[in-house]
Amino acid sequence: MATSEPRNIADISPPSDLPNHADFVIIGGGIIGLAVARQLLLSDERRSVAVLEKESTIATHQTGRSSGVVHAGIYYRPGSQKAELTRRSVGMLREYVETHGLPYIECGKLVIAASESEVPLLRDLEHRATANGVPGLEVVDRAGIERREPAAVGHLAIWSPTTAITDFVAIAERIALDVTTAGGMVISDAEVVDIAQSATKVGVVVGTERRLITAGVAVVCAGVQSDRLAVLAGDSAEPAVVPFRGEYLRLAAAKTELVRGLIYPVPDPNYPFLGVHLTRTVHGDVLVGPNAVLAFARDGYRWRDIEISHLRDLAGTAGFRHLAADHWRRGVVESWRSVNKRAYVRDVQRYVPGVAASDLVRARAGVRAQAVDRSGKLIDDFLVGRKERVVTVRNAPSPGATAALALAEDIAANAAAAI
Ligand SMILES: Cc1cc2nc3c(=O)[nH]c(=O)nc-3n(C[C@H](O)[C@H](O)[C@H](O)COP(=O)(O)OP(=O)(O)OC[C@H]3O[C@@H](n4cnc5c(N)ncnc54)[C@H](O)[C@@H]3O)c2cc1C
């Protein structure tokens, strides 16, 4: 395990420091926007780069609310962007955290088929993982499961020894420091409210005072807000981003010894979510989750967060109407599990029976930015689009934090080609 040292935090500028112009304006200070800014400066330090973040600090949305898992590349369709960029990024990420003394623990992961009926799906995952070049994989039986995770049970499991845990907020903060050290700007409280483009430049409008910044190229890395900003820039409303809340429970301190590393179920192949899992974090606690319930607001971290304009926009897209018609049953089940802790825990007890509802307290939630195509299909792969001088990250859900450094290389090359 690498040790943590006192963090160097980037000097994040207030909105009063907005420049009039930057070669590249990056909208969104999550791990992907920051990594794109860093990559643009690494490739050519003469560029002027400004990251605009609407919140008062960086990495507060998806990046700050993840499970903290450095995925090894098990699940993804061979040849997909997720498969290629995850495998490419793991090595880059590892080197990055080692260089900067950030936490990285290779605790390993079990993906458990709880019953014989799940074994064919587990075998499919094994084939994918092997094709993707995930190192050190083993298929283990009951005894092998118990040897690695004494509190876990199951029929058969994939053991991935190189799957790791880290602190993506600390990584994002360090990347922000790289950006400012290289002469770029990271500006907080700078919400982009409009975008316009001509043949030679992009106009980015910030805040209620409507301050204008001109840019050669704008890169939208705005998570759940990305499709909305793409529309402002003259791009299409679809694929739409549908926010799916993922709620976590935390295991009581007295029970954390039940979990040594990462314990996952076999995921439902019809959804791009990994199923409720048990995750040890680098801070020493154990999280259980996340589930996947439709959020009624883009930053809808609680059931009571409801944004009527967002629901109206969603209902106006063909993709969402198809999604709702095709998947409402699953939606009802997930919502039931969300409000009923016992139902949530019953799922977990299939592979870690020693966890009781009384051992768990509600913890934080995250909201995934999940793109849906016109037919209502949840888009599985990463998706980056470009409309003239505006590049938009349309879909970068999990393992987006793991893949951020490699994904940023591709996005930065795309943006540089548009200037
Ligand atoms: C519950 C959950 C668990 C996850 N677990 C993992 C995991 O274990 N491993 C993994 O690799 N990945 C995981 N992910 C996925 C990962 O967190 C994301 O892929 C990644 O953080 C995406 O980064 P981002 O920069 O695109 O988005 P974000 O971190 O959401 O950043 C987008 C930023 O844009 C800003 N913004 C939005 N609109 C505007 C505007 N108009 N003007 C200015 N700024 C704006 C937002 O405030 C935000 O800071 C998880 C995600 C969730 C939700």
Amino acid present at 153: V
pLDDT at residue 2 in the model: 42
What is the pLDDT averaged over residues 255-277? Answer: 91
pLDDT at residue 6 in the model: 47
**Ligand 1 neighbour 192 (Cβ under 6 A):** yes
What is the pLDDT averaged over residues 346-355? Answer: 93
Amino acid present at 133: G
Report the nearest-CA residue for atom 2 of ligand 1: 66
Residues 235 and 246 in one domain: no
Segment among 6-10, 165-169, 210-214 with least mean pLDDT: 6-10
**How many Å lie between the centroid of ligand 1 and the Cα of residue 96?**
20
Domain CATH code at residue 223? 3.50.50.60
Furthest-apart CA atoms within the chain: distance in Å: 64
Residues 254 and 353 in one domain: yes
**How many Å lie between the centroid of ligand 1 and the Cα of residue 61?**
5
Number of domains within the chain: 2
Residues 246 and 219 in one domain: no
Q: pTM of the entire structure?
A: 0.95
Identify the CA nearest to 393 among candidates 32, 23, 63, 55.
32
Q: Are 80 and 175 in contact (CB under 8 A)?
A: no
Segment among 272-276, 277-281, 300-304, 370-374 with least mean pLDDT: 272-276
pLDDT band at 272, cuts 50/70/90?
confident
Residues 416 and 362 in one domain: no
**Ligand 1 neighbour 189 (Cβ under 6 A):** no
**Ligand 1 neighbour 10 (Cβ under 6 A):** no
- If you average pLDDT over every residue of the chain, what do you get? 93
**Domain presence at residue 403:** yes
**Domain presence at residue 141:** no
Residues 45 and 174 in one domain: yes
**How many Å lie between the centroid of ligand 1 and the Cα of residue 86?**
16
Report the nearest-CA residue for atom 18 of ligand 1: 400
Residue that the structure tokens 């840019």 belong to: 215
Residue that the structure tokens 């090595």 belong to: 91
pLDDT at residue 318 in the model: 85
**Ligand 1 neighbour 172 (Cβ under 6 A):** no
Identify the CA nearest to 64 among candidates 165, 220, 171.
171
**Ligand 1 neighbour 300 (Cβ under 6 A):** no
pLDDT band at 1, cuts 50/70/90?
very low
Residues 52 and 22 in one domain: yes
Segment among 19-28, 180-189, 233-242, 263-272 with least mean pLDDT: 263-272
Q: Are 201 and 35 in contact (CB under 8 A)?
A: no
Domain CATH code at residue 313? 3.30.9
